[in-house]
Structure 1
């Protein structure tokens, strides 16, 4: 994870040679381990590059990096597959070396087509005065652009620096491909031309249609002096996933328990599906491909040496991996598969957030005899400044807290040898309002709906990881030390987990359900991922999305829709049926039957401040105040 930024000025006398302090502060929070700036000048332009690194793998490599030809590279990503990387390699250096070896545009596109994993990048090609930039196919890493309305500068950045009344100036760079700007040409003409190299299927079907859609969508909100054009050679990046299988059954489906609202909501019902040999095979294929995706995401980071003494394990070993954890089937399956690959002497943090409406009377927090200060008890920056009052355990009984505790017991029974740190994160209305104004609203922007507010705030507090560890005999304050946070986003979109999938199925059948799934996956970059990356990255932590691993998506896309979900079955069974069956096979029988509950309702942040607003309404609480 990194904070990357490039500011380009075409008017030398007005070009600022330093970043605004608030922008620099936000970038440093994303990359606390190294900060560096580099100024490059052409005849007609100047570029200020700023890189801020969160060190996770290989040798710490400060950014921006520059080669002997004057090329400059900023990389915010992870190479999980596709490009050869040894265990000790740093992916920034490997990607830059590969880029420097590229002889033409086709080579550059070929390189980025191969990379499996989340990324955004900025690459300055000195000899041609080209600036390349873009995000991965799913948009798992944030990148924003801001064009000065006088036409004399523009900026690319992982996060924006919003100004009151001007928040709409920053927009997310669409994840529709890679862009190229000829800086010399832009400086002379005072017109920025964004040349797009879009994502395409390797097959030639629908190439023109897809390209025109990408161009139209990208150009919609740009100022008059900025235009988007297709590259004249019709070059493109190869999409990293296979097309969605929209096949429909040729005959009525024959299964054991279909078309009945009276189907018993039990483990036995799911067990009936697993008696079918083909179904069981598909379930195990899914478990295998998801397990590999999670393995890559939990092992690609630098781990400190284990303590010398086994007696010190419990007190000295810290968690490197945390999971956004509700106890629902998505987070439970992630936790169970992560448990397969994370060293057994390493705890796993389960981050469970709840919003407190009113403080409930109850037992006070037991006084815990403070031992020597450890990394577990570092107060948060906010609490150390008096901005946060961490609510005590028992203050919040939100639905996700109840299912989270049940999920903890189930994981403990699956692997009692693992230390599972169930972190109760309770947020008061006062703390929510204070930190939304100070921090979160700037990160959620440019998204601005009530839903963006609810999820953005919930994810920010959860990923901060400041809460309580409650055991049978003690309660203690805790701050998660994990730099990597696994999240289940992508499961609902691909496996028909939302209520709108059921509505579409009821009105238009399997054909309508296929279209809804295709639409959900197509818009996930603009709807969710940039926001979540900015929010989680603000804590100097990296979000990783195993359900959006390229191989996982390709596997799910290859299946006909009825092997993924059966919405003729009731809630808690039919949606995400494939994932529920996988949970049963992993020994997670209780969580396998939990109905889908959105994070904003499970954490009780929805309707906390206003009860009459819709999720799609523009949220006044996100507006930047003077």
Structure 2
């Protein structure tokens, strides 16, 4: 992973870039930093390239990477499939070599289409003087842009900085719906910037195919966009979503008041057809995890510290998404290495905690156990995710007692939250600005930092995770109907409405979640990896009819993400397989720290004044 930056200036006016941005980029890539400037023909334009590398594979390859022909690559990504990368090779070098051999736009698009894995890139093609840039199909790596019309300068960067001056140009996320090309000679001759669009090709009724509207919403003021005249497209790396609707479903409905149990899942596993689907999901998801936990910094696994320090961590709530990732990581991380389970909690006030416990309805025993500690001793960090996390830890220890599971308790006070939001997090979340972005961004930032304590022989020991790879469960809810809004849509519009909702979820995941999470996690010099968004996993889930992935006629804790719950049971997990979905902002209780009257979609003033 890297922090990449490109400043394209079409005028003689010198454009300076924010030192805060430079510091953010350096934190993303602590292993190597370099700058490179290119002057265009007849000094008609200037490109400043800056790259900051987090070394993850093969030999350390400094960036910007320049080949013998003068082409320049800024690469922030990982190749997990599609192109051959040997274990001793660095994927930046591989991509640079592949692109160098391209003689036409269609060949460049073929290379990018073949890559399985997350990426964001900027590529200066010297012959013809073109500037290419873009993000992968899902937008798993951040790339922002803005255009300053006063000095005719376009900036592309992994991370920006929030500024409060109203007359400043606004940053936007580069839409993941396309790859883009600028003809630099044409731009300087015209005195204006036109961006050619090369969209991803989609089949059927997939809503992601409506890329033009998305792109127009995010194009910086002062830039023009046009579809490439040759009609060239990138080939989608995943199969289209199965839009079929059942004529009838012969299922016995379990009433929502029924007690949820592991036995319910065992009954459903009795179907051989269902078991085959579960086994196939285990196969593709296990392979996705393997690719991500074995593609690690060269030599780390063989170092003297390998027995004591983890190279892999998981954002861990004890919920089904993170539990399945942990169980599969256990298959592929060397047995002698620990796995860090990063569990974040925001401090509660004791009176509020006691009142909440007292008000819990008696007819919801599962939630009561989750929200209130069994011990009479109150801890202000006994938030729901802390309690389910500890229960999940016990399940994993039962699953593999030989593995060292580092359950990292990351406790955050309001004072520290406010301090770090102002100093760092407001810049990383930007240009997103809602209450939800604030809550999730802050929670993920503290979790990824990995600083807390672990328990050893009943004693607390200060601990900071050494892992450079962080697995996150994002993508499971979006594909398997895990959110409450999916249940509402199913109730009002049936399977057809649910399918439309799921298609929309996957189409907007880049702008709602992934760029933000990449910026936040990358700030610690660590890399976010998303197994549920592996191309093979998404293609498999897309191929299934919706009723085989979720059955929302069943109650919470069973019906949503049903296929994943069956998978968890097959992997040997128990109570975590029937935990209802709980959003991170509520499970960690960060939402309780701030104004409870806010709506998730409101603009967050705490970010704007940060």
TM-score normalised by structure 1 residue count = 0.90
1:134 maps to 134
2:442 maps to 457
Of the three residues 509, 512, 515, the one matched with 1:527 is: 512
Aligned: 1:244 with 2:204: no
Q: Distance in 2 between matches of 1:86 and 1:23?
A: 34
- 1:21 shift after superposition: 1.4
Q: Within 5 A, what are the aligned runs for 1:315-464?
A: 316-358=307-349, 394-464=379-449
1:581 maps to 566
Q: Cα 1:5–1:335, aligned 2, differ >3 Å: closer, same or farther?
A: same
The answer as to whether partners of 1:139 and 1:529 remain within 8 angstroms in 2 is yes
Equivalent residue of 1:459, what SS? helix
1:268 maps to 263
Of the three residues 300, 304, 307, the one matched with 2:300 is: 304
1:184 maps to 185
Aligned: 1:290 with 2:291: no
2:156 maps to 156
Can you list the C-alpha shifts for 1:414-461, whole angstroms capped at 9, x where unaligned?
000000000000000000001000000000010000000000000000
Structure 1 stretch 165-174 or stretch 322-331: which is displaced more? 165-174
Of the three residues 530, 542, 561, the one matched with 2:527 is: 542
Q: Distance in 2 between matches of 1:151 and 1:20?
A: 15
The answer as to whether partners of 1:261 and 1:569 remain within 8 angstroms in 2 is yes
Of the three residues 468, 473, 497, the one matched with 2:458 is: 473
Q: Distance in 1 between matches of 2:379 and 2:467?
A: 24
Q: Distance in 2 between matches of 1:329 and 1:406?
A: 12
Q: Distance in 1 between matches of 2:609 and 2:148?
A: 19
Equivalent residue of 2:231, what SS? coil
Mark the runs of 5 or more structure 2 residues left unpaired by the alignment.
Answer: 352-377
2:174 maps to 173
Q: Cα 1:120–1:307, aligned 2, differ >3 Å: closer, same or farther?
A: closer
The answer as to whether partners of 1:135 and 1:141 remain within 8 angstroms in 2 is yes
Equivalent residue of 1:506, what SS? helix
- 1:359 shift after superposition: 7.2
The answer as to whether partners of 2:147 and 2:222 remain within 8 angstroms in 1 is no
Q: Cα 1:329–1:111, aligned 2, differ >3 Å: closer, same or farther?
A: same
1:382 maps to none
The answer as to whether partners of 1:245 and 1:558 remain within 8 angstroms in 2 is yes
- 1:185 shift after superposition: 1.5
Can you list the C-alpha shifts for 1:195-247, whole angstroms capped at 9, x where unaligned?
0000003x5x679x976x32232123445531111000000000001111011
Of the three residues 525, 540, 545, the one matched with 1:555 is: 540
Q: Distance in 1 between matches of 2:492 and 2:414?
A: 40
- 1:66 shift after superposition: 0.6
- 1:168 shift after superposition: 6.2
The answer as to whether partners of 2:11 and 2:151 remain within 8 angstroms in 1 is no
How many residue pairs were aligned?
Answer: 581
- 1:84 shift after superposition: 0.6
The answer as to whether partners of 1:162 and 1:624 remain within 8 angstroms in 2 is no
Q: Distance in 2 between matches of 1:618 and 1:351?
A: 28
Aligned: 1:143 with 2:138: no
Q: Distance in 2 between matches of 1:206 and 1:253?
A: 24
The answer as to whether partners of 1:79 and 1:116 remain within 8 angstroms in 2 is yes
Of the three residues 13, 18, 21, the one matched with 1:20 is: 18
- 1:159 shift after superposition: 0.4
The answer as to whether partners of 2:208 and 2:504 remain within 8 angstroms in 1 is no
Q: Distance in 1 between matches of 2:115 and 2:469?
A: 20
Q: Cα 1:103–1:176, aligned 2, differ >3 Å: closer, same or farther?
A: same
Q: Distance in 2 between matches of 1:223 and 1:151?
A: 14
Q: Within 5 A, what are the aligned runs for 1:80-95?
A: 80-95=80-95
2:598 maps to 613
Q: Within 5 A, what are the aligned runs for 1:224-235?
A: 224-235=221-232
Can you list the C-alpha shifts for 1:74-94, whole angstroms capped at 9, x where unaligned?
000000000011010000000
Equivalent residue of 1:566, what SS? coil
The answer as to whether partners of 2:3 and 2:29 remain within 8 angstroms in 1 is yes
- 1:264 shift after superposition: 3.7
Q: Distance in 1 between matches of 2:442 and 2:301?
A: 35
Q: Distance in 1 between matches of 2:211 and 2:264?
A: 44
2:370 maps to none
- 1:12 shift after superposition: 2.1
Q: Distance in 1 between matches of 2:257 and 2:5?
A: 56
The answer as to whether partners of 1:215 and 1:229 remain within 8 angstroms in 2 is no
- 1:609 shift after superposition: 1.5
Q: Distance in 1 between matches of 2:487 and 2:12?
A: 57
The answer as to whether partners of 2:256 and 2:556 remain within 8 angstroms in 1 is no
The answer as to whether partners of 2:198 and 2:234 remain within 8 angstroms in 1 is yes
The answer as to whether partners of 1:165 and 1:624 remain within 8 angstroms in 2 is no
- 1:258 shift after superposition: 2.3
- 1:259 shift after superposition: 5.2
Mark the runs of 5 or more structure 1 residues left unpaired by the alignment.
Answer: 361-392
Equivalent residue of 2:180, what SS? strand
- 1:607 shift after superposition: 3.1
Can you list the C-alpha shifts for 1:342-374, whole angstroms capped at 9, x where unaligned?
0000000000000003379xxxxxxxxxxxxxx
The answer as to whether partners of 2:341 and 2:406 remain within 8 angstroms in 1 is yes
